[in-house]
Amino acid sequence: MVNLYFQPDAQMTVPDRMVMDILQKEYDQHQDSSKPKREDSDDSLSSSPKKHTRFESDSPEDIQELSTQTLAHLKALNDPSSKSFEPTVFVSVDYPDIQSPLLRKYIIEPYTRWARTVVRVETDVVMLTHLFLYLFTSIPSALYLFYNFHWWHAPLHAAMQLYYMGSYTLMMHQHIHMRGILSKKFSFIDAAFPYILDPLMGHTWNSYYFHHVKHHHVEGNGPNDLSSTIRYQRDDPLHFLHYVGRFYFLIWLDLPLYFIRNRKLELALKAGGCEMASYAFLWSMFTKVDKRATIFVFLIPLAIMRLGMMIGNWGQHAFVDEVEPTSDFRSSITVIDVPSNRYCFNDGYHTSHHLNPLRHWRDHPSAFLAQKSQYAAEHALVFYNIDYLMITFSLLRKDYMHLARCLVPVNDHQMGMTLEERAEYLRGKTKRFEEGEVMGKWGVKGDGKSK
């Protein structure tokens, strides 16, 4: 990536690589087309025909053809009826990269054939793989800590859970939107496993579903969204601490009250009841069973998960357009070429997710390519080589130059900017909205009520 400052990540997924290749070619083509044409020879010194500089970049027609072919290939990879179909079995290695003939013949292929009949969507063998991983590591380790606590074991368990949290949470993200990840014949397991694994991974029971599906996607980072960023200056550490602290200590109350204000009493009771039941469980384990094991098995993951979710959400919705902040294209971002797309089920395609919350995680790259012209027309923001956590940390350090280097220009306006102009462009999208602006843009007063 010469013109985009950074080399691609070695762990980039194949779909990400395809998407970035097209974006790179578009950028190169724009850069070449903006250069003035010149002759390679002077007619007064040569009688040969005029020779004009040949652009090395692809033509717009070539790029369009490549985009069409790439889109068709990505769709084929996700289509079980296609010869090109490729399930995801592991997050760390792609299915075609498993080269051992014996391993493929006797383990991988039989397991994959069976697993495709167990999961809800045939691409999602990896989710069954993860359930087995947690079944044979997280659960036995946690049980043994309560049975025979050792100080050397406890931090190792917490570190293991920290490593698992991202993949598990985004697997649950798919679960809560699709109401399951396993085939209907395994619906009991599908419904039961979150009650076992959620507390081990730092989640309280059903809170992710109620907050994310029934609240965040309803409000879409607007004024009534409890995790909205619009009233905060997104590069101010004090504003960030207030944002995190409010969620940390008051979400147990704020979310049921939100549902009550919106006359959704059943959701208020369920959300509040599940949160209180989770806290009662944690309190019982702490006071009645084993304090030390409870801290490392449940409380440390809970503290880390809630911090991580707020850091991530801040990065996902830090850049909000000052002109059209209600647009999903302009109030969320897309992140390509990051480990989270490999290990966390394409979590970087956040704009695509807001455009269609029910879109399957494997469909995000193809959906992005299919709507690429609309992303460009809407002045959407696309980044690479930086994840949500580092976006948040870069903002709190006010390191807009680094963010500008990570920006992938998607239209002529962004492509024509200097690096410094890109930095100022991004800075302008992190300013807090005053209450008068909130009322004007969203039609909502400071108390969250409509005008």
Please say whether the beta carbons of 333 and 34 come within 8 A: no
Residue type, 149: F
The pLDDT assigned to 98 comes to 92
The pLDDT assigned to 416 comes to 92
The pLDDT assigned to 54 comes to 44
Q: Structural domain boundaries of the chain?
A: 136-316, 328-427
Does pTM surpass 0.85? yes
Structure-token pair, residue 69: 């072919």
Angle at 172 between CA 177 and CA 260, to 5 degrees: 60
Residue type, 59: S
DSSP state of 448: S
Q: pLDDT per residue over 391-442, tens digit each? A: 999 999 999 999 999 999 999 999 999 999 999 999 999 999 999 999 999 9
State how far the Cα of 60 lies from the Cα of 58, in Å rounded to an integer.
Answer: 7
Residue type, 272: G
The ranges of the chain with pLDDT < 70 are 1-8, 34-57, 444-451
The pLDDT assigned to 34 comes to 66
The pLDDT assigned to 51 comes to 42
The pLDDT assigned to 33 comes to 74
Please say whether the beta carbons of 430 and 395 come within 8 A: yes
Return all residues near 436 (Cβ < 8 A) that are at least 6 apart: none
Q: Where are the beta strands (DSSP E) in 176-245?
A: none
The pLDDT assigned to 242 comes to 97
The pLDDT assigned to 29 comes to 86
